[in-house]
Structure 1
Amino acid sequence: MGYDSVDEQQENRRIEQTEQHSNRPMSVNRSESVYIGDAKKMQNGFKIDDNDVIYKDVVIIGNGPSGICLSYMLAGNWPYYTGEPHPGDDMLTARLRFCTTNTGSEDRGDAHSDDVVAKNRRHCGKSGRIQGGGGLARSTRCKLECLSSGIEGRGGGRPLALLMDHLQHPCVDAGLDVASLLDWRSADEYPEHRVVDHVVLGKGQPGGAWQSMDPNVLTISLSRWMSLPDLDLRHWEKLIEAEQIQEPVLTTANIYTRPEELSVCKASSRISVGTVAAYYKDYVRRKGLKQYFRCGTTVTSVRSDSDSPESKGGYNWIVDGYENKSGKRFRYRCKRAVLATGTTDLSNHLGIPGEDTHPEWVTHDLNDLETRLGRLVSERGETDVGSTDEQMLPVLVVGAGLSAADAIMAARFRGIPVLHAFRNSSNEWGKETAERITISYDRLQWLPNSIYPEYHKVYEMMADGGTNYPLYKSLPGYTLVSLCENREDENMNTRRTVTFSAPDGQLHMFEVSVAAILIGYKPDLSYLEGNGIGLGKLADKPIDSKSNPIEIDDFTYEVIKAPTKGLYALGPLAGNNFVRFVLGGALGILAHILCTTTSERSVSRSREPIVS
């Protein structure tokens, strides 16, 4: 995209020279440099004119937990190892102490680093905590590989995800509630922390998909696992309670700086989705990140462009989109783009006749099903709520995962009969769909009864087949063939029927009131060329968080098959499907940015002419 005038070209040359010779790289909104002072063209700090291009170092697509966590770290908040021993891994403790006490100028690439290390070691002497220059954020790839070696756990096997989970939640899988081994230091406390100019784009409020889920459903993960850096969710709940009753004893300061008092908070347990959504939104406010968030936007394109004049400054990526309310389009040019949109945007479909032609009674969304169930109860009459009307037409639920289990519980709670079809052999609904449902079914089967009693009860119902459970009938191994709607001639009533193929091949027809096909979700990568196909390990398959995540470098989270350097993937898109594992990816991206920008600045200095 060319410049609009000669003056703009001159202004941009001056900006480039300033960037190359400044001690701290800066990212400039070049359209603002021309139109500065024109407040009418600004809205929430952003240009809204279609012709404007905004320049950023990093653009994050997705404002869920992954995007929030990365934004917090890019804003200059870096993790440091406290120096306390890991209660379950002596070798990790030894590696941490070795790596953090041997941080020198080689990690920084400039003479200022010696002063920083000296300052941090003096701080260590006062607090008893080890603070290597830049902490974990300034770690080289070699150090990250060393620290991550030999760690076992969940999280898809990503070494950095496991490392940071071991530090943030020590021994959590063993049932222990140990304080975090990470201290978080801000750019205000440590001026040498680099603040990376970035923006976070999201369709809704901060929290991403968590803002659109049923707020009354309990999370699968324990509350502590849902926490973001430097503010335990349980501490946040206590803080909110204190603010609501205006209790002066509990202040923000002691919430943040005294994690050893975790015992004053309630024990870690499951928590409502609504509470988690409120926490993520409030986290952005409390941590001063609102200036980086541009919510209510839809990204339409993320592409590389290394041929235009603008790319000479390293701005090789273009992110296009529009504001949801106004429809005004925007464009960002950035040095790095991060894909963090999650994997629950689009529901999986079976691709059978009638599935997409009867939206008035066929749904793929749990929240929508809840609304329809409420409508059925209203039609039946409020006085009958809680009764067991087995003459009422059943609700069909297809699937064996957690959403399907929630749907079954919601229907039976309202006294509505359930017809439940789920896979029972490897050849049902096609191989890929069968694999997804098998994974969900196994997860449902092995959930501990003590923590997940409601899901365990649904599994018992599935295993029993409905013999001992009223309002429930299971169809294990049945294949849904079609969904039909017929109008009867006499009274013009609509008859909704579903047809199944039994394991023996015979067809069976059932009349239902509502059909809910809940067989999982997939990411919406329509903003990428070819919907992202080709970026996963299976080049010819769509991206799937479990079977085919985006292929990334384990320690930088760069997309390996991207056309140009500077594209990253974070969170479920990279196979880290739980909030507790997104911290490792955020650290990897931050460390890589700091390392590469330091190298670029060093090369730039070496090329400057020597003036005698």
Structure 2
Amino acid sequence: MPLLEETTVPREHPPTLPVVIIGNGPSGICLSYLLSGYKPYLDPSAVHPNHVLYRKLQETRHLPITEQDLEYLSEGLEGRSGNPVAVLFDTLLHPNADFGYEFPPVLQWRRDKQQHLPHLVLGRATPGGAWHVMEGSMLTISLGIWMELPGINYRDLTNNGKCRGVTNDRATPEEISSYYRNYVKLMGLKQNFVDNTYVTSVQKLFRGHEGEGLENDEGEGGGLWEVRGYQRVQGDTHVPFCLFSENVVLATGASDSPAQLGVEGEELPFVFHSISALGLAVSRKKLGPNSDPVLIVGAGLSAADAVLCACNNNISVLHAFRKHVDDPGLIFKQLPKTLYPEYHKVYHMMHSQTHATPNMLFPDYTSFPEHCVVSFQPDMKCVLQGSNSLKAFKISMALVLIGTHPNLFFLKGQGQYLGLDPTKPISCKQNPVDVHPYTFECTKDPGLFAMGPLVGDNFVRFLKGGALGIASCLLKRLKKKGKLIAEGGGVGGGEFI
């Protein structure tokens, strides 16, 4: 059944919820877990290697972490995330992970159904988000155990619980998407999730005096959020829905809209912005050893994956990127060789097989450091510009893999007003959503929260901290209002009426 049929529920009285979460990837799943009565306590038998943090945890060991002072606990911690709560939750789940250790978590999870906070998680597909559409055979950048969510060990659901070795302990997207899908079922969260939903509008409202109804709220303070969209049911049937929520959480990730170069000819049919286009061309035998080269633009992991795919299929590659090969900002500089040999192979090729210093070690690959694309031409040519010259090449296809941007079209002004710099579009790296560091509530819009890549946490390992911060804030806030319910039965999930 659909989420909500406007033919059966009067439009002027749609249901009101404490929380609506937009996005059912690992961010939304983890937050749903914490809002469903699952509480993290210090494990009485555990000792954290950080003695200062361990002492703080012992001071209030009778309280769940969600009811403690997260700012106090986070103070002095350092890690690979700029969000202090993300670093805190990571060190509780994976103590000293950055030093190569695999210590067990120091948390013990208990479920208190009286602490269940009614909520809905809206997602375009089944739980797992973008992991369902990623290439199934490629390895994730993170270790499998870093992709897991609280409560269920990743290895318990994959590979029969066996460790596959250092390199092979990285997971495939297929394994990860299966883990997230099963996680929702096993943790009893399914009733909170509504699949195949597309949010088209989120706007803030306020409830006026009796009889005045609802109007747009241009001011700050309380009020409700109106969430509109449609649910795809029975094939191509679209059923509109409208919900009211006291709080909305943006957990949409950042893979909706590929970044573009903005150059002439980028709209031509041989120019693509997804690595899947390369795989499709190979599988349909439109590319092969005798084809003109493939141009790959970008110096990140997606571009490296495309290089590997092309080289493994004996397809010639022209690889252009803006940075110098020794630029310390290149992602390859941050990856241990033992864990990521395939990416270091690409980096070696980028370094040793440039257009200026060719050799026969990789005859089908040529890199163009410090080059940018000037244009794509209808005759299948691309023009590259280096420091001193222009170069034109005949190519079979171009892959522009220079990152992605979140698509917040359902918010006013595409959500740009929420960024650290409201004059620029939201960007996970350059202009993330400006949130309170310990609650993840948007500084520009109370009642609106953001987590995951939207606030700069691109790794599952760290986005769980956003779930902790938001859950702690909402549970404390709504507990005062008596919004918690005695039974953890959810609010109807995919059959909400």
**What's the secondary structure of 1:231's corresponding residue?**
coil
User: What percent of counterpart residues are identical?
Assistant: 39
2:272 maps to 363
Once the two structures are TM-superposed, the CA of residue 175 in structure 1 deviates from its matched residue by 1.0
TM-score when normalising by structure 1: 0.72
Q: Tell me the residue number matched to 1:34.
A: none
Q: Establish whether residue 392 from structure 1 lines up as the match of residue 274 from structure 2.
A: no
Three-state SS of the structure 2 residue aligned to 1:330 is strand
Residue 450 of structure 2 aligns with which residue? Answer: 569
Q: Tell me the residue number matched to 1:223.
A: 144
Report 1:82-481 matches (<5 A). 82-100=43-61, 132-133=62-63, 135-139=64-68, 143-156=69-82, 158-187=83-112, 191=113, 193-237=114-158, 241=160, 269-308=169-208, 316-324=224-232, 325-356=236-267, 358-359=268-269, 361-375=270-284, 377=285, 389=289, 392-424=291-323, 442-464=330-352, 465=354, 466-467=358-359, 468-481=361-374
8 Å CA contact 1:207–1:281 kept in 2: the answer is: yes
Answer yes or no: is the 8 Å Cα contact 2:452–2:466 preserved in 1: yes
| Residue pair 1:339, 1:570 contacting (<8 A) in 2 also | yes
- RMSD over aligned Cα, in angstroms? 2.4
CA contact (8 A) 2:251 2:452 kept: yes
Counterparts of 1:310 and 1:63 in 2: how far apart (Å)? 32
Corresponding position of 1:35: none
Q: Name the count of aligned residue pairs.
A: 462
Deviates further, 52-61 or 210-219: 52-61
Q: What's the counterpart of residue 594 of structure 1?
A: 475
CA distance, structure 2, for counterparts of residue 349 and residue 454 of structure 1: 26
The higher-RCO structure (CA 8 Å, 6+ apart) is 2
1:70 to 31, 52, 55: 31
Q: Measure, in 2, the Cα distance between the counterparts of 1:369 and 1:86.
A: 49
Q: 1:497 to 1:378 in 2, by over 3 A?
A: closer
2:312 & 2:420 partners in 1: Cα distance? 43
**575, 578, 582: which one aligns with 2:459:** 578
Separation in 2, partners of 1:270, 1:412 = 22
Return the structure number with greater strand share.
Answer: 2
- In structure 2, give the amino acid aligned to 1:317: W
| Residue type of the alignment partner of 1:271 | A
Aligned-residue offset at 1:138: 2.0
CA distance in 2, matches of 1:180, 1:547: 33
Match of residue 432, structure 2, among 544, 549, 552: 549
- 2: CA distance, partners of 1:287 / 1:267: 28
Q: 1:514 aligns to what?
A: 397
8 Å CA contact 1:86, 1:170 repeated in 2? no
Q: Which of 385, 400, 404 is 1:501 aligned to?
A: 385
User: 2: CA distance between counterparts of 1:557 and 1:394?
Assistant: 46
Deviation at 1:577, TM superposition (A): 1.4
TM-score by length of 2: 0.88
Greater fraction helix: 1
AA aligned to 1:176 is Y
Q: Which amino acid aligns with 2:179?
A: Y
Q: How does 1:11-30 map to 2 (within 5 A)?
A: none
1:315 CA displacement: 5.5
Question: Offset of 1:425 from its aligned partner?
Answer: 5.8
Q: Which letter does structure 1 place at the counterpart of 2:417?
A: G
- Unaligned stretches of 5+ residues in structure 1: 1-42, 101-131, 242-261, 381-388, 427-436, 487-495, 603-612
Corresponding letter in the other structure for 2:430: S
Comparing 415-424 with 461-470, which one deviates more in the overlay? 461-470
For residues 193 and 5 of structure 2, the distance between their equivalents in structure 1, rounded to whole angstroms, comes to 14
Give how far 1:474 is off.
1.3
Pick from 559, 563, 574 the counterpart of residue 442 of structure 2: 559
- Tell me, yes or no, if the aligned pair for 2:3 and 2:241 is still in contact at 8 Å: no
Q: Provide the rounded CA distance (Å) in 2 between the counterparts of 1:58 and 1:461.
A: 49
- TM-superposition CA deviations, 1:148-190 (whole Å, max 9, x none): 111111112x111111100011111111111111111113xxx
Cα distance in 2 for residues equivalent to 1:354 and 1:446:
34
Cα displacement (A) at 1:88: 2.5
| Structure 1 residue 598, shift from structure 2 partner | 3.3
Tell me the distance in 1 between the aligned counterparts of 2:452 and 2:336: 26
CA shift, 1:396, in A, is 0.7
Q: Which amino acid letter does the alignment assign opposite residue 182 of structure 1?
A: L
Contact in 2 for aligned 1:393/1:511 (Cα 8 Å): yes
User: In 1, distance between residues paired with 2:440 and 2:118?
Assistant: 19
Provide the secondary structure at the position in 2 that maps to 1:219.
Answer: coil
Letter in 2 for 1:342: G
CA distance in 2, matches of 1:529, 1:438: 38
Distance 1:409 1:45 in 2: 43
Which whole-Å deviations, capped at 9, do the CAs of 1:80-118 have from their partners, x for residues lacking one? 111345443111110100122xxxxxxxxxxxxxxxxxx
The 8 Å contact of residues 155 and 577 in structure 1, kept in 2 or not, is answered as no
CA spacing shift, 1:571–1:279, aligned 2, 3 Å: same
Cα distance in 2, alignment partners of residues 543 and 476 from structure 1: 28
Instruction: Give, in whole Å, the separation in 2 of the partners of 1:235 and 1:267.
Output: 16
Structure 2: segments with no counterpart, 5+ residues: 216-221, 484-497
Query: Given that residues 318 and 333 in structure 1 are in contact (C-alpha distance below 8 angstroms), is that contact kept between their aligned partners in structure 2?
Result: yes
Preserved contact between residue 120 and residue 194 of structure 2 (Cα < 8 Å): yes
Q: Which amino acid aligns with 2:271?
A: V
> How do residues 522-537 of structure 1 correspond to structure 2 at under 5 angstroms?
522-537=405-420
In structure 2, the residue corresponding to 1:450 is in which secondary structure?
A: coil
**What CA distance in whole angstroms lies between the structure 2 residues aligned with 1:186 and 1:421?**
52
Question: Quick one: structure 1 residues 379 and 457, their matched pair in 2 at CA, closer, same or farther if it must change by over 3 Å?
Answer: closer
The answer (yes or no) to whether the contact 1:352–1:481 under 8 Å persists in 2 is yes
- The whole-number CA distance in structure 1 between the counterparts of 2:3 and 2:152 is 27
Q: How big is the shift at 1:454? A: 0.5
Letter in 2 for 1:319: V
| TM superposition shift of 1:347 | 0.2
Shift of 1:48: 5.2
Displacement of 1:583 = 2.1
Instruction: State the alpha-carbon separation in 2 of the partners of residues 595 and 446 from structure 1.
Output: 38
Rounded to whole Å, the distance in 1 between the matches of 2:482 and 2:35 is: 18
Deviations 1:565-589 (A, max 9, x none): 2111111111221111122211211
Amino acid in structure 2 at the alignment position of 1:444: F
